[in-house]
Amino acid sequence: MEYFMQIYGTLPRAGPGSNELTRRAYQLLTDIPESPRILDVGCGPGMQTVELLKISNGSVVALDLLPQMIERVQAEAERAGVSDRLVTIEQDMSKMDFPPGSFDVIWSEGAIYLMGFEAGLKKLKQFVKPGGYVAVSEVVWLKPNPPSELVQFWQEYPEIDTVEAKLGVIERSGYELIDHFLFPPSAWMEHYYDPMEKRIAEKALEWRGNSEGEAVLKEAKHEISMFQQYSDYYSYAFFVMRNPVSA
Ligand SMILES: C[S@@+](CC[C@H](N)C(=O)[O-])C[C@H]1O[C@@H](n2cnc3c(N)ncnc32)[C@H](O)[C@@H]1O
């Protein structure tokens, strides 16, 4: 874990995304209070948390399992001068137990898969107000018949599916779809794989001969090389949906 965190725990983001995409999704929320109460599930280092604080004039509850991530989101919010509207919770998302309808907006970039896309959407529905919004990003197949080594790579992520399949899940989970859009390749590179490559280079010499460290570097390189070879087969998509007023 220590080696893993020295690579993955130090990047500007813990998954693909960008402030531009966070803003694009947020702009789809057309009917929210002046100062919305927002929950950010699996906030990671908090790039999107800070962006939400900046653009919303609302308050954000940022939740993550890892204390290192909670420390980072707090530090980032302080640096940006928005920490007075941030509350952090170090908790397993599957154990969230907010009172029903606690939030105007629930956000989760690249993290809902940890509960399962469908199970996660159902859980979040309890905590969002009627008429409130849920915005999540999730990995999707872009075209059929992915090569077997790519299928194998995504095996740990069994719910990877097409955009159409995800839209079906959203509908049967009782949400109204507002919109969805795909991430461009730059959203994988700029804040995630480019800094990961730099970090790998920094650690390569230091960890030479250290089997645990080398295994983490190998895994990270493999992840990047999958994207370099096969980015036309998969990406992330943002899905923005609304909890109907009368469910
Ligand atoms: C792929 S990262 C996404 C982080 C962030 N939203 C972003 O886009 O940069 C997933 C995050 O979920 C957190 N996480 C993993 N398992 C969790 C759990 N069971 N409950 C809460 N957070 C969890 C990880 O620590 C990590 O920060």
Ligand 1 contact via 136 beta carbon (within 6 Å): no
How far, in Å, from the CA of 141 to the mean position of ligand 1?
21
**By three-state DSSP, how is residue 237 classified?**
strand
pLDDT reported for residue 71 = 97
Q: Under a CB-based contact definition with an 8 Å cutoff, are residues 7 and 196 in contact?
A: yes
Q: What is the rounded distance in angstroms from the CA atom of residue 35 to the CA atom of residue 53? A: 10
Residue nearest to atom 4 of ligand 1 (CA): 44
Distance (Å) from CA 43 to ligand 1 centroid: 6
The pTM score is 0.97
Q: Which domains does the chain have, with CATH numbers?
A: 2-187+229-242 (3.40.50.150)
In order along its 247 residues, the chain shows pLDDT tens digits of: 689 999 999 999 999 999 999 999 999 999 999 999 999 999 999 999 999 999 999 999 999 999 999 999 999 999 999 999 999 999 999 999 999 999 999 999 999 999 999 999 999 999 999 999 999 999 999 999 999 999 999 998 889 999 999 999 999 999 999 999 999 999 999 999 999 999 999 999 999 999 999 999 999 999 999 999 999 999 999 999 999 997 5
Closest residue CA from atom 18 of ligand 1:
92
How far apart are the CA of 113 and the centre of ligand 1, in A?
9
- Measured from the CA of 69, which atom of ligand 1 is nearest? 27
Who contacts 3 (Cβ-Cβ below 8 Å, separation ≥6)?
A: 207, 210, 212, 213, 215, 216
Going by C-alpha positions, the residue among 175, 236, 246, 244 that lies closest to residue 24 is 236
DSSP symbols for 119-143: HHHHHHHHHEEEEEEEEEEEEEESS
Q: Whose CA is nearest to atom 2 of ligand 1?
A: 14
**Ligand 1 geometric centre to CA of 61 (Å):** 14
The minimum-distance atom of ligand 1 relative to the CA of 137 is: 8
Under 8 Å between Cβ of 220 and 7: yes
Task: Report pLDDT for 247.
Answer: 54
Do the beta carbons of residue 111 and residue 91 sit within 8 Å? no
**What secondary structure letter does DSSP report for 210?**
-
Whole-angstrom CA distances from 194 to 44, 165, 191 are 18, 30, 7
CB 237 within 8 Å of CB 140 = yes
Residue type, 58: G
Q: Can you give the pLDDT at residue 220?
A: 96
CA-closest candidate to residue 108, choices 166, 151, 62: 62
Going by CA atoms, what residue is nearest to atom 27 of ligand 1?
Answer: 44
Could you tell me if 70 and 96 are in contact, meaning their C-beta atoms sit under 8 angstroms apart? no
CA 67 – ligand 1 centroid, Å: 11
